[in-house]
């Protein structure tokens, strides 16, 4: 796992600067412009220029008695100093910011100290300071510093091999942070996630992110070479050793001249690539170069060093070179002791101070969520109870209505089945209430219509019913009056007085009575769609027929047909049994 020291500090460069180049003299620059200029020189390894700006910054802040900016001045000064001096500046930062009203401190001070210890390979102190930074950042509700602390702790998790846990943190901040707001940080989160994916062999995921980055508009050589390096590691992991070497050598030519320690990882993976090709000479060449760098920088925070020294020991043992073999045994013991101390400490403390508190927080969140769910459930129950009661009543009424419809349908069917005649016309007589055309003694057929005309109209209506002319579509009072050569007033009066209903009801009753009989007698008619039945009965729409049927019979068409089928099935069963 690459240890991206440069990222740890760059996070804070970006936090307080926009990296703008300002060519004005220092005297005419404000604090932000001075910071921008400082970081520009610092990034370019121009130590003298960046130191000059840092000292001027602190002098300006002290002259103006600006406590917050005095603290920023100490931060700028500590970057170019050795460890003891840098730590003294950060201790001064602690005193200066003690009484400052700002949500930055003390979280930012602990983050800075953590980075300083990390840079000088004291991972124990780095972790302790990151944990404190996280604690204060949470108390101050400073989401950005919470993010910085979590990301730095994720690096330590990755260092001890907990890459799955680290990947969760990097993935969260990669996809939740606004990359347009801080492109540098977004890029480094992606780099860190790729590193984790490579370590846990999620190679396809790593490759997708690498190509995504290389196809985007990377804005500087550092970023480009980061992804060239990662492409090399990917090729190594997929046993594509020659392409791995091409990528890694290309990135080495850049990182050899840049601070940050990435060149050590490039050297390690170059050695591994040649080892994959069984090229022992080149493997030893790059592993020895890595050892030289480690001694020069006094940086042993590199777990893979154990593997490097074991390979070198075995190589010189095979060669019979006792001096080199003993030398690398000593190197291994020195590095192994320090790695073991750091690994054990981080393994215990990360779990105790970071993972366990996070689990407790997660537990509290779950309990809170369960309480919320319980409250919601109670409210839902209060709402559902009346609704369920309403539905139960509605269901009871529906069932009661259905039973009523069934009884009506059964009575209708029974009255038809009890008819001794089998023809449709005989059955119709049982249902259709046709009044005799013979008037009672001394009782006129109508008080309005002349007697002879009323008698003639009744005869025509009798013929109208016998011929089933009522099944034709588009029959109206006017059309029927014209057909029997009378006027609408006389026809309406005769129907009202003799049939005791208006024309519309009279027509619908004839059609429904016909349907009741035909549905019982004609099996194929029962199988027709509602639209076909309605059309055969002379209705213009299914809805008109459905409503007329229910109004006339008191039951529904579907219930009536269902009861007919039950009756027919029962009759067939009895016939078979007998």
Question: Which position has the token pair 């001064």?
Answer: 92
The three-state secondary structure class of 239 is coil
pLDDT tens-digit map of 32-65: 888 888 877 776 667 788 888 888 888 888 888 8
Who has greater pLDDT, 184 or 494?
Answer: 494
Has residue 371 got a pLDDT over 90? no
Who has greater pLDDT, 345 or 45?
Answer: 45
Question: Would you state the pLDDT for residue 163?
Answer: 79
pLDDT tens-digit map of 6-19: 444 444 444 444 33
Tokens of 459: 């005869």
Question: For residue 575, what pLDDT band results from cuts at 50, 70 and 90?
Answer: low
Question: Would you state the pLDDT for residue 379?
Answer: 81
Average pLDDT for 299-314? 75
Tokens of 215: 């196809």
Question: Which of 90-99, 507-516, 521-530 shows the lowest mean pLDDT across its residues?
Answer: 90-99
Question: For residue 178, what pLDDT band results from cuts at 50, 70 and 90?
Answer: low
Task: Indicate left, alpha or beta for 20 from its phi (over 0: left) and psi (-120 to 50: alpha).
Answer: beta
Question: Is the whole model's pTM more than 0.85, yes or no?
Answer: no
Question: Which of 123-132, 315-324, 348-357, 374-383 shows the lowest mean pLDDT across its residues?
Answer: 348-357
Task: Indicate left, alpha or beta for 474 from its phi (over 0: left) and psi (-120 to 50: alpha).
Answer: left
Alpha-carbon distance of 180 to 186, in angstroms, equals 8
Tell me how crowded residue 332 is: count the other CB atoms within 10 A of its CB: 17
Question: Which of 37-51, 129-143, 236-250, 551-565 shows the lowest mean pLDDT across its residues?
Answer: 37-51
Has residue 242 got a pLDDT over 90? yes
Tokens of 561: 């047909």
Question: Would you state the pLDDT for residue 6?
Answer: 40
Has residue 361 got a pLDDT over 80? no
Tokens of 101: 């009203």
Alpha-carbon distance of 258 to 435, in angstroms, equals 114
Question: Would you state the pLDDT for residue 358?
Answer: 53
The three-state secondary structure class of 19 is coil
Has residue 278 got a pLDDT over 90? yes
* Residue 566 vs residues 10, 413, 534, 569, 572: alpha-carbon distances, Å: 85, 11, 23, 5, 10
The secondary structure of residue 496, as a DSSP letter, is I
Task: State the fold for domain 424-577.
Answer: Arc Repressor Mutant, subunit A (1.10.10)
Question: For residue 572, what pLDDT band results from cuts at 50, 70 and 90?
Answer: low
Has residue 576 got a pLDDT over 60? no
Tokens of 9: 């500090």
Tokens of 177: 């942070």
Average pLDDT for 149-160? 76
Has residue 578 got a pLDDT over 80? no
Phi, psi (degrees; rounded to nearest 5) at 520: -75, -45
Question: Would you state the pLDDT for residue 364?
Answer: 56
Average pLDDT for 320-346? 73
Question: For residue 448, what pLDDT band results from cuts at 50, 70 and 90?
Answer: confident
Question: Would you state the pLDDT for residue 64?
Answer: 85
């Amino acid at each position: 796992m690459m240890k991206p020291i440069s990222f740890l500090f760059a996070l804070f460069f970006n936090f307080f600067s926009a990296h703008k180049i300002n060519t004005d003299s220092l005297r005419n620059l404000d604090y932000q412009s001075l910071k921008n200029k400082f970081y520009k020189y610092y990034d370019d390894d121009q130590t003298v220029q960046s130191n000059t700006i840092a000292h001027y910054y602190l002098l300006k802040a002290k002259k103006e008695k600006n406590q917050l900016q005095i603290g920023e001045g100490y931060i700028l000064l500590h970057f170019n100093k050795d460890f003891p001096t840098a730590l003294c500046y950060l201790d001064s930062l602690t005193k200066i910011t003690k009484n400052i009203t700002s949500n930055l401190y003390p979280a930012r001070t602990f983050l800075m100290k953590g980075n300083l210890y990390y840079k000088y390979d004291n991972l124990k102190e780095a972790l302790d300071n990151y944990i404190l930074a996280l604690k204060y950042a949470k108390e101050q509700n400073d989401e950005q510093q919470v993010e910085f602390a979590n990301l730095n702790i994720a690096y330590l998790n990755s260092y001890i091999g907990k890459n799955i846990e680290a990947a969760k943190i990097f993935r969260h901040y990669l996809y939740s942070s606004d990359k347009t707001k801080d492109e540098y940080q977004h890029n480094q989160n992606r780099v860190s996630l790729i590193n984790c994916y490579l370590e846990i062999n999620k190679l396809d995921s790593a490759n997708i992110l690498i190509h995504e980055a290389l196809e985007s508009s990377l804005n500087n050589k550092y970023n480009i070479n980061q992804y060239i390096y990662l492409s090399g590691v990917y090729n190594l992991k997929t046993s594509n050793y020659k392409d791995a070497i091409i990528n890694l050598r290309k990135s080495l030519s850049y990182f050899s001249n840049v601070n940050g320690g990435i060149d050590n990882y490039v050297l390690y993976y170059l050695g591994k690539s040649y080892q994959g090709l069984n090229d022992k000479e080149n493997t030893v060449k790059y592993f020895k170069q890595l050892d030289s760098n480690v001694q020069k920088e006094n940086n042993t925070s590199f777990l893979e060093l154990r593997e490097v020294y074991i390979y070198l020991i075995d190589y010189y043992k095979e060669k019979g070179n006792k001096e080199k073999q003993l030398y690398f045994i000593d190197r291994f013991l020195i590095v192994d002791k320090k790695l073991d101390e750091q690994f054990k400490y981080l393994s215990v403390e990360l779990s105790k101070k970071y993972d366990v508190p996070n689990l407790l927080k997660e537990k509290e969140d779950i309990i809170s969520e369960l309480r919320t769910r319980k409250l919601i459930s109670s409210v839902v129950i209060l709402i559902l109870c009346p609704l369920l009661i309403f539905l139960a009543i509605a269901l009871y009424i529906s069932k009661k209505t259905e039973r009523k419809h069934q009884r009506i349908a059964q009575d209708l069917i029974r009255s038809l089945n009890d008819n001794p005649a089998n023809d449709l016309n005989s059955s119709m007589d049982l249902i259709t209430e046709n009044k005799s055309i013979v008037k009672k003694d001394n009782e006129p057929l109508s008080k309005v219509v002349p007697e002879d005309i009323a008698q003639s109209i009744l005869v025509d209506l009798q013929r109208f019913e016998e011929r089933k002319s009522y099944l034709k579509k588009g029959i109206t009072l006017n059309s029927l009056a014209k057909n029997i050569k009378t006027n609408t007033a006389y026809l309406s009066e005769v129907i009202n007085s003799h049939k005791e209903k208006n024309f519309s009801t009279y027509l619908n009753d004839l059609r429904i009575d016909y349907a009741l009989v035909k549905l019982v007698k004609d099996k194929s008619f029962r199988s027709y769609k509602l639209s076909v039945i309605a059309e055969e009965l002379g209705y213009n729409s299914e809805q008109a027929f459905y409503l007329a049927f229910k109004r006339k019979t008191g039951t529904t068409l579907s219930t009536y047909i269902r009861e007919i089928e039950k009756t027919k099935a029962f009759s067939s069963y009895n016939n078979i049994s007998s």
